[in-house]
Amino acid sequence: MRPFISVFLLITCVSCFGSFSEGERYFRQGEYENAISEFNRTLFLNVNDIKSLHLRARSYEELEEFDKAVEDYQTIIQYDPTYAQAFAGIGKLYWKREDYKNAQKYLLLAAKEDEKDFDTLLMLGRAMLMNEDYQRADEFLQLAKELNPTDSRAYFYQGMARSQIGDILGAAGSFNMCLRYDPENITAKYNRGLILLLIGNPEWALEDFEDVLKANPNHNEALARRGNAKIDIDDPTGCKDLREAAEKGSLYAQMNLERCK
Protein backbone atom coordinates (compact mmCIF):
# COMPACT_ATOMS: atom_id res chain seq x y z
CA MET A 1 0.00 0.00 0.00
CA ARG A 2 2.88 2.39 0.78
CA PRO A 3 4.34 2.33 -2.80
CA PHE A 4 0.93 3.27 -4.19
CA ILE A 5 0.67 6.21 -1.81
CA SER A 6 4.17 7.38 -2.72
CA VAL A 7 3.46 7.26 -6.42
CA PHE A 8 0.17 9.06 -5.88
CA LEU A 9 1.87 11.80 -3.90
CA LEU A 10 4.59 12.14 -6.54
CA ILE A 11 2.01 12.52 -9.33
CA THR A 12 0.07 15.05 -7.25
CA CYS A 13 3.19 17.12 -6.52
CA VAL A 14 4.35 17.07 -10.13
CA SER A 15 0.97 18.40 -11.20
CA CYS A 16 1.56 21.36 -8.87
CA PHE A 17 4.52 22.47 -10.99
CA GLY A 18 3.85 24.34 -14.21
CA SER A 19 5.81 24.22 -17.43
CA PHE A 20 7.24 27.15 -19.34
CA SER A 21 6.01 25.75 -22.66
CA GLU A 22 2.44 25.53 -21.37
CA GLY A 23 2.58 29.08 -20.01
CA GLU A 24 4.02 30.28 -23.29
CA ARG A 25 1.18 28.57 -25.15
CA TYR A 26 -1.39 30.37 -23.02
CA PHE A 27 0.44 33.66 -23.60
CA ARG A 28 0.49 33.22 -27.39
CA GLN A 29 -3.24 32.49 -27.32
CA GLY A 30 -3.94 35.65 -25.34
CA GLU A 31 -5.02 33.72 -22.23
CA TYR A 32 -2.96 35.90 -19.93
CA GLU A 33 -4.50 34.93 -16.61
CA ASN A 34 -3.93 31.24 -17.35
CA ALA A 35 -0.39 32.09 -18.47
CA ILE A 36 0.29 33.84 -15.16
CA SER A 37 -1.05 30.88 -13.19
CA GLU A 38 1.20 28.52 -15.14
CA PHE A 39 4.27 30.73 -14.68
CA ASN A 40 3.47 31.05 -10.95
CA ARG A 41 3.74 27.28 -10.65
CA THR A 42 6.90 27.20 -12.74
CA LEU A 43 8.53 29.89 -10.61
CA PHE A 44 7.54 28.08 -7.41
CA LEU A 45 9.95 25.35 -8.48
CA ASN A 46 12.57 27.63 -10.06
CA VAL A 47 12.42 31.18 -8.71
CA ASN A 48 15.10 32.55 -11.05
CA ASP A 49 13.64 31.23 -14.31
CA ILE A 50 14.14 34.40 -16.35
CA LYS A 51 12.09 33.25 -19.34
CA SER A 52 9.06 32.61 -17.11
CA LEU A 53 9.54 35.92 -15.31
CA HIS A 54 9.71 37.72 -18.64
CA LEU A 55 6.53 36.23 -20.06
CA ARG A 56 4.72 36.67 -16.75
CA ALA A 57 5.71 40.35 -16.87
CA ARG A 58 4.41 40.57 -20.42
CA SER A 59 1.16 38.92 -19.33
CA TYR A 60 0.77 41.48 -16.56
CA GLU A 61 1.37 44.20 -19.15
CA GLU A 62 -1.42 42.89 -21.34
CA LEU A 63 -3.75 42.89 -18.33
CA GLU A 64 -2.57 46.45 -17.51
CA GLU A 65 -1.23 45.36 -14.12
CA PHE A 66 1.79 47.55 -14.65
CA ASP A 67 3.19 47.56 -11.11
CA LYS A 68 3.39 43.76 -11.10
CA ALA A 69 5.03 43.81 -14.52
CA VAL A 70 7.68 46.27 -13.32
CA GLU A 71 8.32 44.11 -10.26
CA ASP A 72 9.02 41.10 -12.49
CA TYR A 73 11.28 43.10 -14.79
CA GLN A 74 13.25 44.41 -11.80
CA THR A 75 13.61 40.86 -10.48
CA ILE A 76 15.03 39.81 -13.86
CA ILE A 77 17.57 42.63 -13.71
CA GLN A 78 18.66 41.46 -10.25
CA TYR A 79 19.38 38.02 -11.66
CA ASP A 80 20.83 39.28 -14.96
CA PRO A 81 21.88 42.97 -15.10
CA THR A 82 22.52 42.65 -18.84
CA TYR A 83 19.02 41.49 -19.78
CA ALA A 84 18.10 44.22 -22.27
CA GLN A 85 14.45 43.25 -22.66
CA ALA A 86 13.77 43.83 -18.96
CA PHE A 87 15.09 47.41 -19.20
CA ALA A 88 13.09 47.89 -22.41
CA GLY A 89 9.96 46.50 -20.75
CA ILE A 90 10.21 49.02 -17.90
CA GLY A 91 10.88 51.80 -20.41
CA LYS A 92 7.78 50.91 -22.40
CA LEU A 93 5.66 50.88 -19.26
CA TYR A 94 6.88 54.37 -18.38
CA TRP A 95 5.99 55.38 -21.96
CA LYS A 96 2.44 54.12 -21.45
CA ARG A 97 2.25 56.26 -18.32
CA GLU A 98 3.50 59.25 -20.33
CA ASP A 99 6.57 59.50 -18.10
CA TYR A 100 8.96 60.12 -20.98
CA LYS A 101 11.96 61.03 -18.82
CA ASN A 102 12.03 57.62 -17.17
CA ALA A 103 11.07 55.93 -20.43
CA GLN A 104 14.18 57.43 -22.04
CA LYS A 105 16.34 56.40 -19.08
CA TYR A 106 15.37 52.71 -19.22
CA LEU A 107 15.25 52.47 -23.00
CA LEU A 108 18.77 53.91 -23.11
CA LEU A 109 19.89 51.20 -20.66
CA ALA A 110 18.26 48.61 -22.89
CA ALA A 111 19.98 49.99 -25.99
CA LYS A 112 23.35 49.85 -24.25
CA GLU A 113 22.87 46.13 -23.61
CA ASP A 114 21.41 45.38 -27.05
CA GLU A 115 22.28 47.91 -29.74
CA LYS A 116 20.66 45.79 -32.45
CA ASP A 117 17.05 45.89 -31.19
CA PHE A 118 15.09 47.99 -33.69
CA ASP A 119 11.98 48.42 -31.53
CA THR A 120 14.01 49.65 -28.57
CA LEU A 121 15.94 52.16 -30.66
CA LEU A 122 12.76 53.41 -32.32
CA MET A 123 10.97 53.97 -29.02
CA LEU A 124 14.09 55.53 -27.52
CA GLY A 125 14.20 58.01 -30.39
CA ARG A 126 10.53 58.81 -29.84
CA ALA A 127 11.08 59.31 -26.10
CA MET A 128 13.93 61.70 -26.87
CA LEU A 129 11.61 63.62 -29.19
CA MET A 130 9.07 63.95 -26.39
CA ASN A 131 11.86 65.18 -24.09
CA GLU A 132 13.06 67.69 -26.73
CA ASP A 133 16.41 65.90 -26.95
CA TYR A 134 16.34 66.30 -30.72
CA GLN A 135 20.00 65.83 -31.60
CA ARG A 136 20.28 62.49 -29.83
CA ALA A 137 16.88 61.46 -31.17
CA ASP A 138 18.26 61.95 -34.69
CA GLU A 139 21.31 59.83 -33.85
CA PHE A 140 19.39 56.89 -32.36
CA LEU A 141 16.76 56.96 -35.10
CA GLN A 142 19.62 56.79 -37.60
CA LEU A 143 20.76 53.57 -35.89
CA ALA A 144 17.20 52.20 -36.03
CA LYS A 145 16.95 53.10 -39.70
CA GLU A 146 20.15 51.23 -40.49
CA LEU A 147 18.79 48.12 -38.78
CA ASN A 148 15.50 48.19 -40.68
CA PRO A 149 15.82 50.42 -43.75
CA THR A 150 12.30 49.71 -45.03
CA ASP A 151 10.38 50.70 -41.89
CA SER A 152 8.75 54.06 -42.54
CA ARG A 153 8.47 54.97 -38.85
CA ALA A 154 12.20 55.52 -38.33
CA TYR A 155 12.29 57.95 -41.27
CA PHE A 156 9.17 59.75 -40.05
CA TYR A 157 10.42 60.41 -36.53
CA GLN A 158 13.89 61.25 -37.81
CA GLY A 159 12.26 63.83 -40.06
CA MET A 160 10.56 65.36 -37.04
CA ALA A 161 13.85 65.45 -35.11
CA ARG A 162 15.76 66.98 -37.99
CA SER A 163 13.10 69.66 -38.44
CA GLN A 164 13.62 70.70 -34.83
CA ILE A 165 17.41 70.94 -35.07
CA GLY A 166 17.24 72.99 -38.27
CA ASP A 167 18.42 70.31 -40.68
CA ILE A 168 15.76 71.20 -43.22
CA LEU A 169 17.18 69.32 -46.20
CA GLY A 170 17.83 66.28 -44.01
CA ALA A 171 14.23 66.42 -42.78
CA ALA A 172 12.96 66.61 -46.36
CA GLY A 173 15.00 63.53 -47.23
CA SER A 174 13.63 61.65 -44.21
CA PHE A 175 10.02 62.48 -45.10
CA ASN A 176 10.68 61.45 -48.70
CA MET A 177 11.88 58.04 -47.55
CA CYS A 178 8.99 57.72 -45.12
CA LEU A 179 6.53 58.30 -47.93
CA ARG A 180 8.33 55.82 -50.16
CA TYR A 181 7.45 53.06 -47.69
CA ASP A 182 4.20 54.55 -46.39
CA PRO A 183 2.59 56.69 -49.10
CA GLU A 184 -0.55 57.22 -47.00
CA ASN A 185 1.20 58.96 -44.12
CA ILE A 186 -0.60 62.29 -44.27
CA THR A 187 1.38 63.86 -41.44
CA ALA A 188 4.63 63.13 -43.27
CA LYS A 189 3.17 64.57 -46.44
CA TYR A 190 2.06 67.74 -44.66
CA ASN A 191 5.46 68.21 -43.03
CA ARG A 192 7.24 67.63 -46.33
CA GLY A 193 4.99 70.27 -47.87
CA LEU A 194 6.00 72.73 -45.16
CA ILE A 195 9.66 72.14 -45.91
CA LEU A 196 9.20 72.39 -49.68
CA LEU A 197 7.40 75.68 -49.22
CA LEU A 198 10.17 76.91 -46.93
CA ILE A 199 12.99 76.07 -49.36
CA GLY A 200 11.22 77.60 -52.35
CA ASN A 201 9.49 74.70 -54.14
CA PRO A 202 5.84 75.85 -54.08
CA GLU A 203 4.79 73.60 -56.99
CA TRP A 204 5.82 70.43 -55.17
CA ALA A 205 4.54 71.77 -51.86
CA LEU A 206 1.17 72.40 -53.51
CA GLU A 207 0.94 68.73 -54.51
CA ASP A 208 1.51 67.64 -50.93
CA PHE A 209 -1.09 70.02 -49.50
CA GLU A 210 -3.59 68.90 -52.16
CA ASP A 211 -3.10 65.29 -51.08
CA VAL A 212 -3.51 66.21 -47.41
CA LEU A 213 -6.77 68.03 -48.12
CA LYS A 214 -8.09 65.13 -50.17
CA ALA A 215 -7.52 62.86 -47.20
CA ASN A 216 -8.78 65.43 -44.67
CA PRO A 217 -10.80 68.33 -46.12
CA ASN A 218 -10.92 69.93 -42.65
CA HIS A 219 -7.15 70.30 -42.32
CA ASN A 220 -7.23 74.07 -41.96
CA GLU A 221 -3.45 74.58 -41.82
CA ALA A 222 -2.96 72.60 -45.03
CA LEU A 223 -5.58 74.87 -46.62
CA ALA A 224 -3.67 77.96 -45.45
CA ARG A 225 -0.36 76.64 -46.77
CA ARG A 226 -1.96 75.62 -50.04
CA GLY A 227 -3.16 79.18 -50.40
CA ASN A 228 0.34 80.54 -49.91
CA ALA A 229 1.82 78.01 -52.33
CA LYS A 230 -0.75 79.02 -54.96
CA ILE A 231 0.09 82.70 -54.53
CA ASP A 232 3.77 81.86 -55.00
CA ILE A 233 2.98 80.39 -58.43
CA ASP A 234 0.54 83.21 -59.33
CA ASP A 235 -2.60 81.08 -58.94
CA PRO A 236 -5.38 83.60 -58.12
CA THR A 237 -7.37 81.01 -56.12
CA GLY A 238 -4.69 81.17 -53.43
CA CYS A 239 -6.33 84.16 -51.79
CA LYS A 240 -9.60 82.28 -51.56
CA ASP A 241 -7.82 79.52 -49.64
CA LEU A 242 -6.12 82.00 -47.33
CA ARG A 243 -9.34 83.88 -46.57
CA GLU A 244 -11.24 80.67 -45.87
CA ALA A 245 -8.48 79.38 -43.58
CA ALA A 246 -8.28 82.75 -41.81
CA GLU A 247 -12.04 82.72 -41.17
CA LYS A 248 -11.65 79.26 -39.64
CA GLY A 249 -9.03 80.56 -37.21
CA SER A 250 -5.67 79.90 -38.86
CA LEU A 251 -3.16 82.40 -37.49
CA TYR A 252 -0.80 81.54 -40.32
CA ALA A 253 -3.50 82.47 -42.85
CA GLN A 254 -4.34 85.68 -40.99
CA MET A 255 -0.67 86.69 -40.98
CA ASN A 256 -0.41 86.16 -44.73
CA LEU A 257 -3.65 87.84 -45.82
CA GLU A 258 -1.68 90.96 -46.68
CA ARG A 259 -0.46 89.09 -49.75
CA CYS A 260 -3.97 89.38 -51.12
CA LYS A 261 -4.24 93.18 -51.04
Sorted by where each begins, the domain ranges of the chain are 18-81, 184-261
CATH architecture classification, 18-81 = Alpha Horseshoe (1.25)
Q: What is the CATH number of domain 184-261?
A: 1.25.40.10
pLDDT for residue 21: 82
DSSP track, the chain:
-HHHHHHHHHHHHHHHS--HHHHHHHHHTT-HHHHHHHHHHHHHH-TT-HHHHHHHHHHHHHTT-HHHHHHHHHHHHHH-TT-HHHHHHHHHHHHHTT-HHHHHHHHHHHHHH-TT-HHHHHHHHHHHHHTT-HHHHHHHHHHHHHH-TT-HHHHHHHHHHHHHTT-HHHHHHHHHHHHHH-TT-HHHHHHHHHHHHHTT-HHHHHHHHHHHHHH-TT-HHHHHHHHHHHHHTT-TTHHHHHHHHHHTT-HHHHHHGGGG-
pLDDT by residue, tens only, the chain of 261 residues = 444 444 443 344 444 455 788 888 988 999 999 989 999 999 888 888 899 999 999 999 999 999 999 999 999 999 999 999 999 999 999 999 999 999 999 999 999 999 999 999 999 999 999 999 999 999 999 999 999 999 999 999 999 999 999 999 999 999 999 999 999 999 999 999 999 999 999 999 999 999 999 999 999 999 999 999 999 999 999 999 999 999 999 999 999 999 997
- Same fold: 18-81 with 184-261: yes
